[in-house]
Amino acid sequence: MLKKSSLVLWGVVLFVAWNALILFFLWTRPQSLSDHSHLTEEVIRLAEDAETELERQKDLLQQIYRYSVLWSRRQTKPLPAAAASAQPSTAAPLPHLSQISPDAVLPVLVIACDRSTVRRCLDKLLHYRPSKERFPIIVSQDCGHDETARVIASYGDAVMHIKQPNLSDIPVPTDHRKFQGYYKIARHYHWALSQVFQTFQYQAAIVVEDDLEVAPDFFEYFQAAFPLLLADPTLWCVSAWNDNGKEQMVDAAHPELLYRTDFFPGLGWLLLSDLWNELEPKWPKAFWDDWMRQPEQRRGRSCIRPEVSRTMTFGRKGVSHGQFFDQHLKFIKLNDRFVPFAQMDLSYLKRNEYDRSFRDQVYSAPELRVEELQGNQRRELGTVRVQYTTRDSFKAFAKALGVMDDLKSGVPRAGYRGIVSFLYRGRRVYLAPPSDWTGYDPSWS
């Protein structure tokens, strides 16, 4: 607590020092008798800038105060036995993977900006949340949007509201001016994740954005998959999202189906503090999600993803101006059945066992041409495989079958070992490379 009190004290010192510097500048600035009007205008401008900065400093001090109160409560308030060992401690070093408990607290970090419809996201999270202690909700707000801030504040202590302090524009290359929003999103993610893992020192976190609605078993899914993420170093995230999760392309009768994927899905995902320690020093200035999909970051690791998505997006408004939403995102099916994942054995998703069984399933399936599938032929074959050999054949077959056809560093959306699994006219289809596949070609983009 002494450390946090010092932090508050330093905040006050910085606040006072800033004001002193402003006053010193105004008092000592040379005056030109020949241009009093210009000097008056400049003094007014400086005063306005100072007022803006003072508001920012005030907001920072308020956040520091809130954090100090939170830390004080954590030191004095008894915790449930399951959560006590996992609470953040600012005095202890960041935990290593081997020290993370399967019963660790899993905060939900909600990335917010200027959507007052964040209420829809928070209402569902709070409705389905099984435990406030196990799943605290932290809303990190960028943009300084007053209406959104009031909505978040209306939840009181049901959520923690933190605000990104730096709202300034970011210098970008001339040809990237239209992408300013993507730069600000990357900056916000960096700040928010650093708060969760370095300031609050949580051991893992579930990240969602303010335009996501969650499924009834959202928390159950992440709670059950978390130990798997700890146990298998070939995994680096658990995602709630299926990029090919349109209603006609998923087996809604079997929402318990889970897969490995080499494609980073995002849109509701769980990561460990160890991963943030790895990524934070090289975090990109923009386009953070595509950066995550590069081989240098993925390093051969995979994510877990569901057959039926545990999140859906309702946010047409955004930096992409709604085009991707209208064409694709609004058609993703949200799971509406509770699956008791915590009572299931998910060890089949560990790489060695999964690779063997999944590969057998795929390459034992009879091969069919796209034209035969489209003509609904050979129904008696059941599950089938469509084989592609080149980038162009993948994109052509994917487009013909309604599958997402874009590639990131050579990896297809929802793909694993180059294989994309989906339903087409009610039958399971594997869009797959030849059985002697040797790896992704990053030039396939």
pLDDT recorded at residue 435: 97
DSSP 8-state assignment for residue 137: E
Q: Catalytic amino acids? A: 289
* Average pLDDT for 105-116: 97
pLDDT at 191 over 80: yes
pLDDT recorded at residue 328: 85
Higher local confidence (pLDDT), 64 or 315: 315
β-strand pairing of 427-432 with 384-387 = parallel
* Average pLDDT for 376-399: 97
Sequence spans of domains, the chain? 2-76, 94-345, 351-432
User: Rounded CA gap, 140 and 174, in Å?
Assistant: 29
* Average pLDDT for 134-139: 98
CATH class, domain 351-432, is alpha beta
The fraction of the chain above a pLDDT of 70, given in percent, is: 76
pLDDT recorded at residue 41: 58
Structure tokens at 44: 């007014």
Confidence of residue 99 (pLDDT cuts 50, 70, 90): confident
User: Rounded CA gap, 270 and 284, in Å?
Assistant: 19
CATH code 3.90.550.10 for 94-345: yes
* Average pLDDT for 22-26: 50
Q: Which segment of 71-75, 201-205, 299-303, 409-413 scores lowest on mean pLDDT?
A: 71-75
pLDDT at 310 over 60: yes
Q: Which of 302, 216, 214, 300 is nearest to 263 (CA)?
A: 302
DSSP codes of every residue in 197-247: IIIS--SEEEEEETTEEE-TTHHHHHHHHHHHHHH-TTEEEEES--TT-BG
Amino acid in the structure at residue 127? H
Confidence of residue 321 (pLDDT cuts 50, 70, 90): very low
pLDDT at 98 over 70: no
Question: Token match 């992408």: residue?
Answer: 179
* Average pLDDT for 357-366: 98
DSSP 8-state assignment for residue 196: I
pLDDT at 48 over 60: no
Higher local confidence (pLDDT), 47 or 206: 206
pLDDT recorded at residue 8: 47
User: Rounded CA gap, 217 and 441, in Å?
Assistant: 36
